[in-house]
């Protein structure tokens, strides 16, 4: 090895588990988040495997109807609240944000640690709900079913309520950090686009999450005290719950996707060695998406009986929010023009996002159309659509970002060959599982069905077999990533030739991030001016 | 599992769609095809560009990245990929919206049917007081207006063939209408999650000619008079929703299985036991919550007034055959 064997970095600066549990270092907090987010993904994935197994044939295979309903509820709740909402911002974002803007830490390090403990505390409630008669309402907790079911809805919603605070804390911290802690010379338009994306995300986290908190609190009050808010038997209005719920949960979709788009901008510039095409358009489109995302929640309620005029306006606004997303896709593709494209694992996930998210977007156009949504609403078409957006979009970008920043986070390289094989399995498996579900939905197969008509069986079986391919892909990935931690080659400071500030410090960085405060005098991706 | 005959109607459509049998079908299907083909063309175009770039500009021995300042703006290009998609989106919005208005505004001369959703059966009530369970009989080429409400949680009335869907909400009425263009049996699904029996909350729309409909409405129910009791009970079991919660093969579903229970002693919730005899069955049909078998929830809806005495006798006769 040419590099010195031991250098001081944030990992070996202090020793012992106590030094981790009480750390205020944003990098360590990001790593701890990453660990629990990975565990949550594994757990949610396990539930998905189990419920797809049940759907191998109509009628009972392994579980009763109630157990199946609990499985898809747990899959949804774990994946949304414990995995995908915190995934990129809390793990990669926490690790990177101060590094990318040349700061020593986030603005409020103690609040950052608090947000991590709130995450764990909320997770405890969710896990408690799993063992104490898991909720069977679906992750949407629609009333009045969620008020009348005997399962442990309260602990699950309380968990989501607490996790909401964790999310708000992260968002607040990021907003203040971005405003106040940028390195000298880093103007707003010299920030990496990942930072713009995290900023837009943080705005939604801070403004929308309280509404979810209030809604879940009202639900708990109604269940405990019998005060009529959503339950018609008590004089409440069940559709009101849907409005409240989606007022958070639709913007939350953008909490999930905006950071992923930030990662995409980083990947395309580094692996094409190109300055980004349309920097300002990408930055502004993040903000545009963040704002319009507050005004489209009603497209989840097209068949709920809401007024036709409301439906019309929500449909129109839904199409407006599609445009900034499409613009970003075109900008990334234009960035590839005349580049030097390096097909390393992170860029493979960039390509995966590009294709899968586009399919998610096109099918979103179908669902946004009122008379077509009447037919497709609550069928497998919707299930396939949001998995293409969430898993095909966010998860692919998350994996791309994870591989991209892995050497920076742990100072180790992973096996590029194994990464390619895992990527192949994941791509094939994903499309087997979910493209099939577009067909099922178009044929009229409703979602959340324990049993189904015999004619759907071949497609269901094919979809289920895809989950096994997908699992193999993720197992390979888990294996080579752990292997890299144990025996990986030591990573250079800048293995990919990135230009953003995190690549100017050592891998892994020292606790204070930089030896000297960086001074910024150009944009983040000026590959035409700098030679790496 | 059940209702094998009605399922046939779901597969006999053009392309991936179930057969189009209502006046909405053509509209919805053309909109779908339009968006699908525009999407396919755009997706193929994107793929060609991306693959070309990857092949042409990929890092390889002998390849030198073009020098000079990188292009980071091109107003014409940016307008070209922003404005046409916007216009296309607005066009699709307009197309979707006008069709939606047609679906929402029912014609005045329609035949009104009252629909009640409850865990886990569909109940239909006609103007003359006729009530049916799980099967809705309607005349062909006549607008049918469904006025719907729920007795418990949210449900959603979905007929893939008619291309209609609308939530069924407790304490509130929702409306939807359709006009069938041909006769046959067509599937009804519940598409709003409503608990353990959700996937069994199915039904049939039986579209018949106008004359047949008139006759049916005038002597509804009498068609079953000729059936032997056991056969009648078997029919009630699958047609009136029992199948959603009670198996006949011994497996426990939401409710206890019917197999091998006749004449046995059944342990009750809250202690004691009851012999499964004629009186217990009749009581359980009309007042299901009065005596609940141990290990099950008191969730069965009352069938009081929904099954005739002869139909209850049929169920009893059918139970006796399930050894």
Residue whose C-alpha is closest to residue A111's, from A158, A172, A160: A172
Residue whose C-alpha is closest to residue B27's, from B97, B91, B114: B97
What pLDDT does residue A280 have?
93
Q: B260 to chain A, minimum CA–CA distance in Å?
A: 20
| Segment A341-360 mean pLDDT | 96
| Domain co-membership, B184 together with B243 | no
| Domain co-membership, B123 together with B149 | yes
Q: B219 to chain A, minimum CA–CA distance in Å?
A: 32
Residue whose C-alpha is closest to residue A433's, from A472, A403, A376, A488: A472
Please tell me which of the candidates B50, B100, B297 has its beta carbon nearest to residue A374.
B100
| Total number of domains constituting chain B | 3
- For A361, name the nearest residue in chain B, comparing CA atoms only: B39
What pLDDT does residue A228 have?
87
User: What SS3 string covers B28-39?
Assistant: HHHHHHHHHHHH
Residue A348 lies inside a defined structural domain of this protein: yes
Tell me which chain B residues have a C-beta less than 8 angstroms from the C-beta of A353: none
Vertex B108, ends B102 and B109: CA angle to 5°? 115
- Contact partners, residue B268, CB within 8 Å, separation at least 6: B274, B291, B292, B293, B294
**Are B170 and B150 a contacting pair, CB within 8 Å?**
yes
Q: B259 to chain A, minimum CA–CA distance in Å?
A: 17
Q: CB distance B93–A319 less than 8 Å?
A: yes
Residue A509 lies inside a defined structural domain of this protein: no
- For B33, name the nearest residue in chain A, comparing CA atoms only: A366
Q: Is the dihedral of CA A448, A452, A456, A462 positive or negative?
A: positive
Tell me which chain A residues have a C-beta less than 8 angstroms from the C-beta of B30: none
DSSP A501: G
Residue B18 lies inside a defined structural domain of this protein: no
pLDDT at A5 over 60: no
| Segment A66-89 mean pLDDT | 94
- Interface residue of B19, B63, B152, B165 to substitute, partner A, most A CBs within 10 Å: B165
Q: CB distance B53–A378 less than 8 Å?
A: no
Q: B258 to chain A, minimum CA–CA distance in Å?
A: 17
What DSSP element (H or E) covers B10? helix B4-11
Inter-chain Cβ pairs, chain A and chain B, closer than 8 A: 265
Residue B61 lies inside a defined structural domain of this protein: no
Residue A3 lies inside a defined structural domain of this protein: no
B158-203 tens-digit pLDDT: 999 999 999 999 988 999 999 999 999 999 999 999 999 999 899 9
What pLDDT does residue B8 have?
53
What pLDDT does residue A206 have?
94
Residue A371 lies inside a defined structural domain of this protein: yes
| Segment A55-80 mean pLDDT | 92
CATH number at residue A269: 1.20.210.10
Residue B4 lies inside a defined structural domain of this protein: no
Residue A202 lies inside a defined structural domain of this protein: yes
Q: What pTM, to 2 d.p., does this model score?
A: 0.90
What pLDDT does residue B235 have?
84
Q: CB distance A371–B167 less than 8 Å?
A: no
pLDDT at B5 over 60: no
Q: A315 to chain B, minimum CA–CA distance in Å?
A: 7
Residue B159 lies inside a defined structural domain of this protein: yes
| Domain co-membership, B116 together with B214 | yes
**Are A328 and B46 a contacting pair, CB within 8 Å?**
no
What pLDDT does residue B277 have?
85
Residue B91 lies inside a defined structural domain of this protein: yes
Query: Any bridge partners for residue B175, and if so which?
Result: B147
pLDDT at A516 over 70: yes
Q: CB distance B191–A447 less than 8 Å?
A: yes
Residue B168 lies inside a defined structural domain of this protein: yes
| Domain co-membership, B194 together with B234 | no
Q: What are phi and psi of A114, to 5 degrees?
A: -60, -45
Residue B169 lies inside a defined structural domain of this protein: yes
How would residue B316 be classed by pLDDT, with cut points 50, 70 and 90? confident
Residue B1 lies inside a defined structural domain of this protein: no
Q: Compute how many other C-beta atoms are within 10 angstroms of the C-beta atom of residue B228.
A: 10
Give residue B99's domain range. 25-56+72-104
| Domain co-membership, B299 together with B240 | yes
Got the DSSP string for A362-407?
A: HHHHHHHSHHHHHHHTTBHHHHHHHHHHIIIIIIHHHHHHHHHHHH
Tell me which chain A residues have a C-beta less than 8 angstroms from the C-beta of B251: 60
The fraction of chain B above a pLDDT of 90, given in percent, is 48
**Could you tell me if B187 lies within 8 Å of chain A, comparing CB atoms?**
yes
The burial of A134, by beta-carbon neighbours within 10 Å (0-12 exposed, 13-18 middle, 19 or more buried), is given as: buried
What pLDDT does residue B134 have?
87
Q: Parallel, antiparallel, or unpaired: how do β-strands B164-168 and B121-125 relate?
A: unpaired
**Could you tell me if B50 lies within 8 Å of chain A, comparing CB atoms?**
yes
Query: Any bridge partners for residue B159, and if so which?
Result: B164
pLDDT at A350 over 80: yes
What pLDDT does residue A198 have?
96
Vertex A93, ends A89 and A98: CA angle to 5°? 145
What pLDDT does residue B6 have?
43
CATH number at residue B305: 1.10.760.10
pLDDT at B222 over 70: no
Q: Compute how many other C-beta atoms are within 10 angstroms of the C-beta atom of residue A289.
A: 25
Q: Compute how many other C-beta atoms are within 10 angstroms of the C-beta atom of residue B265.
A: 10
- For B104, name the nearest residue in chain A, comparing CA atoms only: A308
The burial of B135, by beta-carbon neighbours within 10 Å (0-12 exposed, 13-18 middle, 19 or more buried), is given as: middle
Place of tokens 């023009």: A337
How would residue A438 be classed by pLDDT, with cut points 50, 70 and 90? very high
Give residue A292's domain range. 17-504
Q: Parallel, antiparallel, or unpaired: how do β-strands B111-118 and B121-125 relate?
A: antiparallel
**Could you tell me if B52 lies within 8 Å of chain A, comparing CB atoms?**
no
Residue A303 lies inside a defined structural domain of this protein: yes
Q: Percentages helix, strand, coil for chain B, rounded to the nearest 5?
A: 40, 20, 40
Q: CB distance A443–B10 less than 8 Å?
A: yes
| Segment B61-80 mean pLDDT | 90
Average per-residue pLDDT in chain A? Answer: 93
**Are B95 and A367 a contacting pair, CB within 8 Å?**
no
Please tell me which of the candidates A330, A341, A379 has its beta carbon nearest to residue B53.
A341
- Which residues in chain B (121-140) have CB-CB distances under 8 A to chain A? none
- For A454, name the nearest residue in chain B, comparing CA atoms only: B1
**Could you tell me if B108 lies within 8 Å of chain A, comparing CB atoms?**
no
Residue A452 lies inside a defined structural domain of this protein: yes
Q: Parallel, antiparallel, or unpaired: how do β-strands B184-190 and B143-150 relate?
A: unpaired
**Are A370 and A312 a contacting pair, CB within 8 Å?**
yes
| Domain co-membership, B77 together with B159 | no
| Total number of domains constituting chain A | 1
pLDDT at B104 over 80: yes
Q: CB distance A365–B92 less than 8 Å?
A: yes
A471-511 tens-digit pLDDT: 999 999 999 999 999 999 999 999 999 999 999 999 999 99
What pLDDT does residue A4 have?
54
Q: CB distance B160–A340 less than 8 Å?
A: no
Please tell me which of the candidates B98, B165, B172 has its beta carbon nearest to residue A377.
B165
Cα–Cα distance for residue pair B60/A341, rounded to 1 Å: 9
- Contact partners, residue A303, CB within 8 Å, separation at least 6: A373, A374, A377, A378, B156, B165, B166, B167
A363-380 tens-digit pLDDT: 999 999 999 999 999 999
A249-263 tens-digit pLDDT: 999 999 999 999 999
What pLDDT does residue B132 have?
87
Query: Any bridge partners for residue A525, and if so which?
Result: none
Residue whose C-alpha is closest to residue A158's, from A205, A217, A118: A217
DSSP A350: H
Got the DSSP string for B168-189?
A: E-BTS-EEEEEEBSS-EEEEEE
> What is the four-CA torsion angle of A417, A418, A421, A426, rounded to 10 degrees?
-140
């Amino acid at each position: 090895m040419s590099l010195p064997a031991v250098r001081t970095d944030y990992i070996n600066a202090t020793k012992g588990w106590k030094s981790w549990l009480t750390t205020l270092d944003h990098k360590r907090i990001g790593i701890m988040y990453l660990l629990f987010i990975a565990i949550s993904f594994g757990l949610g994935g396990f539930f998905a495997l189990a419920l797809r197994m049940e759907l191998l044939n109509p009628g009972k295979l392994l579980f009763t109807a109630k157990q199946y309903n609990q499985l898809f509820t747990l899959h949804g709740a774990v994946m949304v609240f414990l995995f995908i909402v915190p995934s990129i911002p809390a793990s990669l974002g926490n690790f990177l944000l101060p590094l990318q803007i040349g700061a020593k830490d986030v603005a409020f390090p103690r609040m950052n640690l608090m947000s991590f403990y709130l995450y764990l505390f909320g997770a405890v409630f969710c896990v408690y709900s799993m063992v104490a008669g898991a909720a069977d309402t679906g992750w949407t907790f629609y009333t009045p079913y969620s008020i009348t079911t005997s399962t442990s809805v309260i602990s699950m919603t309380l968990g989501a309520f607490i996790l909401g605070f964790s999310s708000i804390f992260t968002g607040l911290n990021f907003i203040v950090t971005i405003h106040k802690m940028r390195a000298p010379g880093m103007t707003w338009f010299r920030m990496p686009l990942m930072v713009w994306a995290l900023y837009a995300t943080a705005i939604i986290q801070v403004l929308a999450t309280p509404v979810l908190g209030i809604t879940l609190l009202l639900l708990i009050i109604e269940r405990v005290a019998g005060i009529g808010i959503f339950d018609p038997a008590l004089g409440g209005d069940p559709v009101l719950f849907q409005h409240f719920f989606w007022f958070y949960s639709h913007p939350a979709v953008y909490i999930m996707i905006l950071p992923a788009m930030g990662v995409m901008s980083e990947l395309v510039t580094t692996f094409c060695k190109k300055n980004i095409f349309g920097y300002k358009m990408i930055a502004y489109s993040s903000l545009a998406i963040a704002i319009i995302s507050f005004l489209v929640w009603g497209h989840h309620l097209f068949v709920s009986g809401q007024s036709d005029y409301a439906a019309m306006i929500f449909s129109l606004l839904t199409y407006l929010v599609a445009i900034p997303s499409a613009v970003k896709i075109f900008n990334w593709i234009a960035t590839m023009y005349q580049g030097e494209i390096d097909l390393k694992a992170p860029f493979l996930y960039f390509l995966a996002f590009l294709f899968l998210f586009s399919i998610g977007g096109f099918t979103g156009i179908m669902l946004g159309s009122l008379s077509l949504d009447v037919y497709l609403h609550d069928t497998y078409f919707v299930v396939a659509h949001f998995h293409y957006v969430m898993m095909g979009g966010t998860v692919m970008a998350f994996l791309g970002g994870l591989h991209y920043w892995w050497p920076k986070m742990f100072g180790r390289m992973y096996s590029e060959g194994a990464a390619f094989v895992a990527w192949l399995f994941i791509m094939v498996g994903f499309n087997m599982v979910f493209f099939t579900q577009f067909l099922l939905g178009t044929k009229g197969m409703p979602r959340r069905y324990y049993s189904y008509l015999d004619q759907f069986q071949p497609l269901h079986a094919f979809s289920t077999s895809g989950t096994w391919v997908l699992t193999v892909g993720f197992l390979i990935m888990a294996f080579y990533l752990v292997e890299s931690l144990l025996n990986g080659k030591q990573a250079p400071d800048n293995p990919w030739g990135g230009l953003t500030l995190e690549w100017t410090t050592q891998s892994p960085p020292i606790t204070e991030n930089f030896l000297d405060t960086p001074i910024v005098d150009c944009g983040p991706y000026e590959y035409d001016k700098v030679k790496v | 599992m059940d209702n094998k005959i009605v399922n046939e109607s779901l597969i006999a459509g053009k392309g991936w769609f179930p057969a189009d049998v209502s006046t909405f079908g053509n509209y919805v299907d053309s909109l779908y095809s339009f968006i699908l083909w525009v999407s396919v063309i755009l997706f193929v175009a994107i793929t060609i560009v991306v693959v070309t770039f990857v092949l042409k500009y990929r890092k390889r021995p002998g390849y030198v990245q073009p020098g000079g300042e990188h292009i980071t703006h091109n107003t014409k290009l940016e307008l070209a990929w922003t404005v046409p998609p916007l216009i296309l989106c607005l066009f699709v919005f307009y197309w979707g919206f006008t069709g939606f208005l047609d679906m929402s505004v029912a014609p005045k001369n329609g035949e009104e049917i009252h629909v009640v959703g409850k865990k886990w059966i569909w109940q239909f009530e006609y103007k003359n007081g006729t009530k049916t369970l799980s099967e809705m009989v309607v005349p062909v080429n006549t607008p049918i207006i469904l006025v719907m409400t729920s007795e418990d949680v949210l449900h959603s009335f979905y007929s893939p063939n008619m291309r209609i869907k609308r939530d069924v909400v407790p304490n509130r009425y929702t409306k939807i209408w359709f006009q069938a263009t041909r006769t046959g049996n067509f599937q009804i699904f519940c598409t709003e999650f409503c608990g353990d029996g959700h996937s069994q909350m199915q039904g049939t729309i039986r579209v018949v000619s106008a004359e047949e409909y008139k006759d049916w409405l005038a002597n509804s129910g009498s068609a079953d008079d000729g059936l032997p009791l056991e056969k009648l009970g078997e029919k009630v079991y699958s047609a009136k929703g029992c199948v959603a919660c009670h198996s006949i093969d011994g497996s426990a579903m939401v409710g206890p299985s019917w197999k091998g229970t006749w004449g046995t002693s059944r342990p009750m919730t809250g202690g004691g036991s009851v012999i499964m005899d004629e009186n217990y069955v009749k009581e359980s049909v009309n007042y299901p919550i009065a005596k609940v078998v141990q290990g099950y929830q008191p969730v069965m809806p009352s069938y009081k007034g929904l099954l005739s005495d002869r139909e209850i006798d049929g169920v009893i006769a059918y139970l006796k055959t399930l050894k």
